[in-house]
Amino acid sequence: MSCDRADTVLHGYFDNELDPVGATEFERHLERCSECVDALDALNSLHLSMNLAQLYEKAPAPFRKKVLASLGASRPLAIFQAGITWRWLAATAAILICVYLGAQLVSYHRAGTYQTVLAAEIIDAHLRSLQPGHLVDVVSTDQHTVKPWFNGKLDFSPPVQDFADQGFPLQGGRIDVIHGHSVAALVYGRGKHFVNVFIWPTDEKDVAPRSGSQQGYQWIEWGKAGMEFCVVSDAAPSTLEQLHNLLTGN
C-alpha cells in the first residue's frame, strides 16, 4: 500500500508549485490519505532540520576579494600595457570615472531601473531573512514589545501593529540594510509563508502603491507620511494586497 502522490504531487504542494486547483485537490486528498500526511510531516521536518543546520554557505571574504580583483583585471584596460605616460593615465582614469559615474547616474535616475534594482535588493533581503537565524532579532507577537525594540537602533520610529485577528500574526522585527541604509523590517506570518515589511524614512511625499514580481516573489511599495513601505513575500499577490490595506488603514 503505497500512495503514488507521496512521490510526486506532494512535493509540488510542499514547494508551493501547484496551481490553486491542484493545491485544493491535494488538500482534499490529504484529508483521507494518512500516508501523504506522514510524508508531508517527514518533508517538513527534513526541511526544518536543513534550515536549522545552516547548510547554506556564503561566499567567504577572501573568495569575494579574489573574484572582484580578477574581474577588475579583465576590464578592457589595454592602454595600461602600452607604456603611456602618467599624464595620459590620469586623464584616461578621469574619463573612465566620469563615464562610470555618468552611467550609474543615468541608471539610478531612470525610474524603471531604480525600481528593478530596489526590488532586487528587497527580494534579496527577504531571501536573506529566510536563512536560518536571520528572520527576526526581536521575537514577539506583541507590538508593544517590537516597537520599543527599534528605539535607539534607528533614527526613526517605524509604525508597528499586530494583525493576528486579520490573519497576519506579527512574528517580530529586525534591522536590515537596503540601499546602504538601515531600515526596519517587520515580519508577519501567513500560513506557511512569511511576509517582510521594510520601512524607511523618505523625503518624497505620499507615493501611490507600485507592485511587481520577480523570481516568484511579489512586492508592493508605497510611501505614506514620510515613510516608505515595501511588503514582499512568495505568498499570493492578493495576500500582499490585504496586508497593504491593513497597513495603510484602508
Partner 1 sequence: MLDSQDQVRFELLVLPHLDAAFNLARWLLRSRADAEDAGQEAMLRAYRFFHGFRGGDVRAWLLQIVRNTCFTWMEKNRRVKDMIEFDEELHGPSDPNPEVLAIAADSRGQLTHALESLPPRYREVIVLRDLEGCSYKDIATITSIPIGTVMSTLSRARRQLQLALRDPAREEADHEL
- Rule CB under 8 A: is residue 246 a binding residue for partner 1? no
Task: Compute CA 73 distance to the chain's CA centroid, rounded to the nearest angstrom.
Answer: 32
Shortest approach of partner 1 to residue 59 CB, angstroms? 4
Rg (CA), the chain: 23
The amino acid occupying position 179 is H
Shortest approach of partner 1 to residue 86 CB, angstroms? 22
Shortest approach of partner 1 to residue 201 CB, angstroms? 24
Binding part of the chain for partner 1, among 49-57, 169-177, 189-197, 236-244 by CB under 8 A, reads 49-57
- Residue 162, CB half-sphere, CA atoms under 13 Å: how many? 15
Measured from the CB atom, the residue of 112 and 249 that comes closer to partner 1 is 112
Measured from the CB atom, the residue of 53 and 225 that comes closer to partner 1 is 53
Phi, psi (deg, nearest 5) at residue 62: -60, -35
- Residue 189, CB half-sphere, CA atoms under 13 Å: how many? 12
Binders of partner 1 in range 193-222 (CB under 8 A): 214-216
For residue 188 the three cell numbers come to 508577519
The amino acid occupying position 14 is F
Binding part of the chain for partner 1, among 30-38, 92-100, 180-188, 189-197 by CB under 8 A, reads 92-100
Residues belonging to the chain: 250
Binders of partner 1 in range 53-72 (CB under 8 A): 53-60, 62-64, 66-68, 70-71
Shortest approach of partner 1 to residue 123 CB, angstroms? 10
For residue 111 the three cell numbers come to 525610474
For residue 177 the three cell numbers come to 540594510
Dist. CA 2–CA 12, nearest whole Å: 18
Which of 127, 175, 236, 246 is close enough to bind partner 1 by CB under 8 A? 127
Q: How many helices (H) and strands (E) does the chain have?
A: 8, 7
Binding part of the chain for partner 1, among 73-81, 155-163, 166-174, 189-197 by CB under 8 A, reads 73-81
Binding part of the chain for partner 1, among 20-28, 48-56, 147-155, 205-213 by CB under 8 A, reads 48-56
- Rule CB under 8 A: is residue 44 a binding residue for partner 1? no
Dist. CA 199–CA 187, nearest whole Å: 11
Count of residues in contact with partner 1, rule CB under 8 A: 49
Using DSSP's 3-state secondary structure scheme, residue 25 falls into helix
β-pairing, 207-214 vs 193-201, is unpaired
Measured from the CB atom, the residue of 101 and 164 that comes closer to partner 1 is 101
For residue 210 the three cell numbers come to 507600485
Neighbours of 144 (CB within 10 A): 9
Chain residues that interact with partner 1, rule: CB under 8 A: 7-12, 15, 17, 42-43, 46-47, 49-50, 52-60, 62-64, 66-68, 70-71, 74-76, 96, 99-100, 103-104, 107, 117, 120-121, 124, 127, 130, 214-216
